[in-house]
Amino acid sequence: MKGFMRKLEMTQGIDVPSNSKSGGLAMIWKEGKDIRFKSCSNSHIDVVVYDDKGLNPWRATGFYRHPNARKRNISWSLLETLKNQCDMPWVVFNDFNEIIHPDEKLGWAERDVDQMRGFRDCLSVCGLHDMGFVGSRFTWCNDRYGDQRTLVRLDCVVANEGWLARFSEVQVHHISMATSDHCLLALFLRKKVPPKRKVRKRFLFKAMWTRDDRCKEVIEGAWDPLGAEVDIQDRIRNCQGQLRRWNYEVYGNVNKVLKVKQDRLRQLEALNLLHETAEEIQGLKKEINETLRREEVMWN
């Protein structure tokens, strides 16, 4: 978990450990954000978010409904209990393990009508509204082939009217993930706009370079040939330039190939097809994961 937080440059958070190989919850954020803990359990993490002046609070809850259908009423009761604790603007996100409408499931057996109605009733009681999404329709796949293959929108973000009024431009994006059977849900408080022209990034020495013998050769080649009259700052700048060039030549092509595969995965999942794209999707996920492992850029 700590390595994951470092990768995202987030140092603060709340972690609810899992009871077994699966499960577990976490909510993390960057240092300096005014986020105050309210409560947590094996099924939720509840916090209050304040602006930079410590004003205008709103509530954020990460929620996980138990996958056992027989225990779903316990989860809905918990959500209703959380709702009754305060009336501030409120957003709830994560894996509800349930769908609102039948068209949010494709393949295998039909979803139980009573289960869907129970979820809708709970959202209604809590005054929570589905925000919709940008991207593929489904957020989870059981990764099977044939008649048992199933695509479902198990994850969503919901909010009450007070929160939606405050963040009127909010968007939820479904982002394809090769390392999980779930999509990543990204919540943008303002509409996502095309990126501006790239600005040259601050130089960062990559830990993975140290495992490549060629890195030492690049540094020595950039440092030693300079005369004694060259000061330390110029030597460092020369090393930075040589390392940037070497990184692009050695790893740059890999990054381009990785992006192409990730873009293709996103395109296929956006087609929302049950069988026609299954094999190519699974193949792409394996290739992406293998590339990430091989180049040692996956969360470390």
- Among residues 273, 285, 270, 276, the alpha carbon closest in space to that of 137 is found at 270
Output the pLDDT for position 194. Answer: 60
The mean pLDDT of 187-199, rounded to a whole number, is 72
Instruction: Identify whether the C-beta of residue 172 lies closer than 8 Å to the C-beta of residue 186.
Output: yes
Query: How far are the Cα atoms of 44, 206, 213, 247, 271 from residue 295, in angstroms, in the given order?
Result: 35, 12, 14, 12, 30
Q: Write out pLDDT tens, residues 29-64.
A: 988 999 999 999 989 999 999 999 999 999 999 999
Q: Kindly tell me if the per-residue pLDDT of 207 is higher than 80.
A: no
Q: Kindly tell me if the per-residue pLDDT of 175 is higher than 80.
A: yes
pLDDT bucket at 300, cuts 50 / 70 / 90: very low
Higher pLDDT, 256 or 281: 281
Which residues lie below 8 Å from residue 256, measured CB to CB, with a gap of 6+? none
- Among residues 186, 180, 182, the alpha carbon closest in space to that of 285 is found at 180
Output the pLDDT for position 69. Answer: 75
Distance of CA 62 to the CA centre of its chain: 13
Helix, coil or strand: residue 75: helix
Structural domains in the chain?
2-188 (3.60.10.10), 207-295 (no CATH)
Instruction: Identify whether the C-beta of residue 223 lies closer than 8 Å to the C-beta of residue 239.
Output: yes
